[in-house]
Amino acid sequence: MPWRRDLLTRTAGTLALLGVSAVGAVAGGASAVDTPSTAAQEPVPSPRAAGVTRFNPPTLFDSRDFSHVAVVTGRPGRAYVAGLGPHDADGRISAGHRLQKQVQAVLANARRALDAVGAGPEDVVRLHIYVADYHPMHGLIVSPKVRAFFDGRMPVSSFVPVAGLAWPGARIQIDMEVALPPEPPAGPDGRGP
């Protein structure tokens, strides 16, 4: 479709000026999700995948439809964080409709998810930023805040324009892949350095 190729070319050009990578597709419409419960989900190892634990940190809303965090143990350990939108701990979009406020809420949730796995922004190796009802000017709102969150040391990232997100009113969502910091070696008593 020529109009789509033209939109993606203009979008990629705008994002390149901002130092953000764009992917070559615009996703489809939003899907509905159940209202999340407010009870925190305890980390539970997957019975079929040794070394994988999936959970929702108590500081994020508890979705029954997906886990916010999956941790892969071993060396090196990895954590995969998904579905971070502009929600409060009860699953409500409390940041209002303004993209600028929603970006702040999403990054606060990213910090909570990283804290839950003992990592920081410097440990994020891949970032996907999904923005609904995208306009090229949105990069000027999102990019500076994301760069500040990562102190200018950006992970590999994709800025993905989408038609909509799963939650009505949500305009931004992020997913991250995190390299877990190595655990300190055990001392002679087996309890740490």
pLDDT tens profile 109-151:
999 999 998 999 999 989 999 999 989 899 999 999 999 999 9
Cα→Cα distances 142→16, 82, 146, 167, 191, Å: 14, 18, 6, 19, 43
This prediction's pTM: 0.64
Residue 172, sorted as left (phi over 0), alpha (psi -120 to 50) or beta, turns out to be: beta
Residue 58: is the preceding peptide bond cis (ω within 30°)?
no
- pLDDT at position 34 over 80: no
pLDDT tier for residue 65 given thresholds of 50, 70 and 90: low
Tokens of 155: 């992970």
Sign of CA dihedral 173, 175, 180, 181: negative
CA distance 1 to 115: 43
Tokens of 81: 């964080």
